[in-house]
Structure 1
Amino acid sequence: MINIPGQLAIRTISGRNGEFNVGRLSTSIGEFVIKDALLDQYDEGKYRGDFLITEIRPSYYSTSGRLVVEIRAKLESMSLDDVDNLTAEDAAKLSPSEPDPIDEEPSSTQTKPLQQRKTLTAAAAVSNANKPLSAEDAPFGMAPPSSANNAEQDAALFGTIWPLDEMVKLDTTVDRQRLRLQCTRLGELGYVLDFKLQVWTLSSF
């Protein structure tokens, strides 16, 4: 384990599972690819700070008929100081053909109980929760969804941190897909990420 200052360039890529983030960490001991789930909270950009690395290992994947070998670092945590816009040079180092880390994970994410998968699917369907359907918009013979239903879906999505406070810190060790859904939902509910404190705060605007 090593704590080292560096600069983390994060790029957002659109894949078959939706948008995801990958990063490249530049330090005095070398450059490393970062694909930890905690990156999915952040906006695209170039962040400076201190990074706690627990593992450095080689990894590889194939794309367009070629084998890509990279050195990955696993982050335990990071303390960020500031952020700049991602430059074209930074973006070029992070290929848009990078595989989604979800696809690289063990098939355990696909063997979850059916009920849990249904719960996550239902939670993903609340993207328009702040604009409930009117009676005219609801399917024939069905009542529009109630705020109680939205609350139930949010409770299932956020688990032990529900109900939400004005300041929310996500558990980045949860299932990666769930973490992405939580980030999306927080944005819909008016929360913004304070990247220095690494917490979501409810915006007053």
Structure 2
Amino acid sequence: MISVPGTINIRSIEGRFGSFNVGTLECSIGSFTVKDSSIEEFDEGSYTGDFVIEKIKPNSYFHSGRMVVEVRAFLSAIMLKRDASPQPVLAESFEQDPLEEDMADLPLGQLAGSGHPTHFIEDAPTLDEDSTLQSLFGFLYPLGNCVKLDPTINRALFRQQKDHLKANGYRFVASEQHWVKE
């Protein structure tokens, strides 16, 4: 592991499974693609801070008749300055949704690591809103005024949690990496 100061440029992209974030980490040792769950909560923009890189490895995929080769950094921690606010960043035209990568080697209809059919909580039959929220957030339910999501859970579930918080009056505080009820 190595800790480096740098800037991460985060873009939101609309994919087959909904929107997802990708980042480009610019630091003294190079420029790397970041597609970790840890950046899913961030708004689009450019953030400066210190980044703990767990590993670096090449990755490739096909998209729109092209083969894309990238050097990917896997982050174990992001430490932004307290006053960090996103600066505008230019978007690129193509990216593969990381959820597609997670699902690539699974039988049709299963999510990576879950063994469950691919459906979203909204599609599941619900007894009431409390039980739906409890199944969505697990031990985090009931939600307080400050919520810290776990980006190591199943990526599809993590996105559902993030989308629910956004839709229900929570704001992501990037420097603290938690959600606050407004």
1:197 aligns with 2:176: yes
Structure 1 partner of 2:122: 124
Q: 1:180 aligns with which of 135, 138, 159?
A: 159
Q: Is the 8 A contact 1:35 1:101 kept in 2?
A: yes
Distance (whole Å) between structure 1 residues aligned to residue 152 and residue 86 of structure 2? 27
Change (3 A) 1:60 1:181: same
Question: Given residue 34 of structure 2, which amino acid in structure 1 is its aligned partner?
Answer: I
CA displacement 1:25-78 (0-9 Å, x = unmatched): 000010000000111111100000000100000111112322211100000010
Question: Given residue 84 of structure 1, which amino acid in structure 2 is its aligned partner?
Answer: P
Structure 2 partner of 1:102: 99
Higher fraction of helix: 1
Distance (whole Å) between structure 2 residues aligned to residue 194 and residue 65 of structure 1? 38
Give unmatched runs, 5+ long, in structure 1: 127-145
Structure 2 partner of 1:167: 146
Deviation at 1:174, TM superposition (A): 0.5
Change (3 A) 1:69 1:4: same
Give unmatched runs, 5+ long, in structure 2: none
SS where residue 93 of structure 2 aligns?
Answer: coil
1:49 aligns with 2:46: no
| TM-score scaled by length of structure 2 | 0.88
Percent of residue pairs bearing the same amino acid type: 38
1:113 aligns with 2:116: yes
Question: Given residue 111 of structure 2, which amino acid in structure 1 is its aligned partner?
Answer: T
Distance (whole Å) between structure 2 residues aligned to residue 152 and residue 166 of structure 1? 19
Runs of 4+ in 1 over 4 A off after TM superposition: none
Structure 1 partner of 2:80: 80
Q: Is the 8 A contact 2:145 2:180 kept in 1?
A: yes
Structure 1 partner of 2:7: 7
Structure 2 partner of 1:130: none
Deviation at 1:83, TM superposition (A): 2.9
Question: Given residue 124 of structure 1, which amino acid in structure 2 is its aligned partner?
Answer: E
Distance (whole Å) between structure 2 residues aligned to residue 183 and residue 71 of structure 1? 27
